[in-house]
Amino acid sequence: MSSKVLERDPIAGAPGAPRLKGRGTPWRERFFHLSLWASLAVGVVFLVGLITYVVVEGWSRLDSRLWTNFPDLITPSNGGAQSAIMGTLWVIGFTALYCLPTGILTAIYLEEYADQNRWYNRAVEINIQNLAAVPSIVYGILGLGVISRGLGFGQTVLTASLTLSLLVLPVVIISSREAIRAVPQSIRQASLALGATQWQTIWRQVLPAAVPGMATGSILALSRAIGEAAPLLLLGGLTFITFNPTGVESQFTVLPIQIFNWISQSRSEFVALASAAIVILLVILLAMNSLAIWLRNRYSHKW
Amino acid sequence: MKSGAPGQRTVSGGPGFLKQSQPRYGEKVIKVLLVAASLVSVLTTVGIVIALIPPAGEFFGKVDFGDFITGTNWAPLFKPPHFGVLPLVGATLMVTLIALLVAVPLGLGAAVYLSEYASPRTRTVFKPMLEVLAGIPTVVYGFFALKAITPALQDHWPFGDGPQIFNALSAGFVMGIMIIPTIASLAEDAMSAVPHALRDGAFALGSSRMQVSTRVVFPAALSGIVAAIVLGISRAVGETMIVAIAAGGQPNLSFNPLEGMQTMTAFIAAAGIGDLPTGSTGYQTIFAVGSLLFVMTLVMNLLSIRLVRKYREVYE
């Protein structure tokens, strides 16, 4: 939207057009422009610095030991993160299984069925917006008090993935709603005019058109779940686990928790190990982010 | 743009000759399913309240609420225990303040640059980079603060004693960097929503780009910008891993950012790791501090949602 305005730059003028005579750009303008540019640059420089730091620190440990060996408290130089990598895959798999259908169905209800003038639908909407900004440690308390101890699911993969799916559910709902809203009304009207029922219209017309947007949002939501450590701290995912999960009833650890555990150790070998595990985690997340951006660019189209 | 229920309305509410020939049970089942799914988010909120209130209630049965909220000594696991929450709240506010000093100017600067100055090509390069910053796990930020920022500060501290190994300053600084994308993207949305006619008018009157940005676009988008900052505060108050790793685990009612201190979230995390027995007062402190945290962030979230709605209504 704003790019249209930026293209016809009133200071520079259209290319080829005679420049208006001015007294040059005052130093205040230049300073302002420079400081705006600098504030963007700080974040980018920080990002580059952080990535360089973990790669350099973790370089000596970035080999196959990292994913073939289990954590080792006595000889950290031989330890790996296999149980954490497998635990992450298990927990995120079940998180996706719980939160994606729930989130997408909620989005369909709110966009296609709910009457926005009804107070209860607006309450649901505000509730979701608020949940999106509730601190993740509060979800940990929910998982600890209600799911783990209240429902008696214990400190298992099941508890962890239920907790994480509630945590990222608002993100899935909000992004799916945006994808559904982007499908033009004329497509629905055409389908209904041909005699399709409302669900047939949604299932065969609206959803196929909205899938790329939903996929983008879902990937971003899951990549947030992969990086979360705070709620899982409360669910007991901290012990040195030297086995891979075998089912939803299994105990578990995940990469961020394993990293946190290693950071808390005083011996310097653990710093290298933590850095190497961070590199793995960042590679997974960057891959997911790039996939999301690629999906958005590849399949987004103007109607 | 809002899609109501066009299909239903024509079939069920129309004149007699358009009466539905057969009841569509499948459609009704699907609608029930959709409503059930959307109840999950309502139940989440109910679940949070159920998780927090009863244990917090039990806690306040044993500890006076006034002592809790005004006490200056937090030592719940000592004998005798002290339950004054102010050191935790003070540390939370200290870290939040440092984070905002970093995130507000840099976030707003980045937002103004992206919305008013950047060419479309620059935007396509830098916006995803900022988004990556938001996607980095906070445990990584905490690690970086503890192992890279703090030693760098200690080595190059110009006056007096440098920061301690655990300190509020590096935790707050790194948290500020983490919050930049939150503030930048929401503020940029608000500024992009300002109608172009306002900018064109100002340019036509001979304003420079800086004048348009600071005197036209910025004031017009103010409620959205405030909403972005409020959301940033809420993020900072609720952030756990950075403070648990880099700010330390020692409750400390101090206003010196170079010292270690324990925030509310860091206490909850530390107490949660301890695997406390259900029903003990130590276990219940998690829920008492959690309730306080939830109420604080709830107020700010609702304020932010209100402000976002306000500016959307003005310019649509």
* Residue B72 pLDDT greater than 90, yes or no: no
Mean pLDDT across the stretch B156-171? 88
A278-288 pLDDT tens trace: 999 999 999 99
- Give the model's pLDDT for residue B239: 95
A227-258 pLDDT tens trace: 999 999 888 756 667 778 887 788 888 999 99
* Residue B104 pLDDT greater than 60, yes or no: yes
Mean pLDDT across the stretch B102-106? 97
A201 touches chain B (CB under 8 A): yes
| Closest CB from B106, B135, B146 relative to A263 | B146
* Residue A123 pLDDT greater than 50, yes or no: yes
ipTM given for this complex = 0.88
Partner-chain contact A40 B113, CB within 8 Å: yes
Contacts A124 to B, Cβ<8 Å: 38, 41-42
B271-315 pLDDT tens trace: 888 777 777 888 899 999 999 999 999 999 999 988 887 766 555
Among chain B residues, the shortest Cα distance to A5 is held by B196
The confidence band for A225, taking pLDDT boundaries of 50, 70 and 90, is: very high
- Give the model's pLDDT for residue A224: 93
The confidence band for A269, taking pLDDT boundaries of 50, 70 and 90, is: confident
Estimate the share of chain A in helix, then strand, then coil, as percent rounded to the nearest 5: 70, 0, 30
* Residue A54 pLDDT greater than 90, yes or no: yes
Mean pLDDT across the stretch A173-184? 94
- Residue B136's nearest CA partner among B199, B88, B181, B171 is B181
Rounded to 5°, the CA angle A123-A128-A130 comes to: 95
Averaged confidence pLDDT in chain A: 86
- Give the model's pLDDT for residue A83: 87
- Using CA atoms, how far apart are residues B303 and B252, in angstroms rounded to an integer? 30
Which residues in A256-293 are b (16+ Cβ under 10 Å) and which e?
bbbbbbbbeeeeebbbbbbbbbbbbbbebbeebbeebb
Is residue B189 a contact partner of residue B224, using CB atoms and an 8 Å limit? yes
The amino acid occupying position A282 is: L
* Residue A4 pLDDT greater than 60, yes or no: no
Residue numbers of B between 76 and 135 with CB closer than 8 Å to A:
105-110, 112-120, 123, 126, 128-133, 135
Q: Higher model confidence: residue B265 or residue B157?
A: B265
* Residue A3 pLDDT greater than 80, yes or no: no
What is this structure's pTM?
Answer: 0.88
- Residue B166's nearest CA partner among B75, B243, B241, B72 is B243
Q: Which string of DSSP letters, residue by residue, matches A182-228?
A: TS-HHHHHHHHHTT--HHHHIIIIIHHHHHHHHHHHHHHHHHHHHH-
Partner-chain contact A130 B109, CB within 8 Å: no
Q: Phi and psi of B74, rounded to 5°?
A: -110, 105
Rounded to 5°, the CA angle A40-A42-A44 comes to: 75
Partner-chain contact B129 A47, CB within 8 Å: yes
Mean pLDDT across the stretch B258-277? 88
* Residue B54 pLDDT greater than 60, yes or no: yes
* Residue B90 pLDDT greater than 50, yes or no: yes
- Give the model's pLDDT for residue B13: 47
Which residues in B223-242 are b (16+ Cβ under 10 Å) and which e?
bbbbbbbbbbbbbbbbbbbb
- Using CA atoms, how far apart are residues A149 and B273, in angstroms rounded to an integer? 15
- Using CA atoms, how far apart are residues B86 and A288, in angstroms rounded to an integer? 41
Q: Higher model confidence: residue B22 or residue B76?
A: B76
Q: Which stretches of chain B are assigned E, i.e. beta strand? A: 74-75, 82-83
- Give the model's pLDDT for residue A102: 96
Give percent of chain A with pLDDT exceeding 70. Answer: 89
* Residue A135 pLDDT greater than 60, yes or no: yes
| Closest CB from A32, A42, A285 relative to B135 | A285
Is residue A29 a contact partner of residue A11, using CB atoms and an 8 Å limit? no
Mean pLDDT across the stretch B163-167? 90
- Other Cβ atoms within 10 Å of B17 Cβ, number: 5
- Give the model's pLDDT for residue A276: 92
- Give the model's pLDDT for residue A7: 47
Residue numbers of B between 126 and 155 with CB closer than 8 Å to A:
126, 128-133, 135-140, 142-144, 146-148
* Residue A77 pLDDT greater than 50, yes or no: yes
Among chain B residues, the shortest Cα distance to A36 is held by B109
- Give the model's pLDDT for residue B2: 43
A9-50 pLDDT tens trace: 555 555 555 555 556 678 888 999 999 999 999 999 999 999
Mean pLDDT across the stretch B233-239? 95
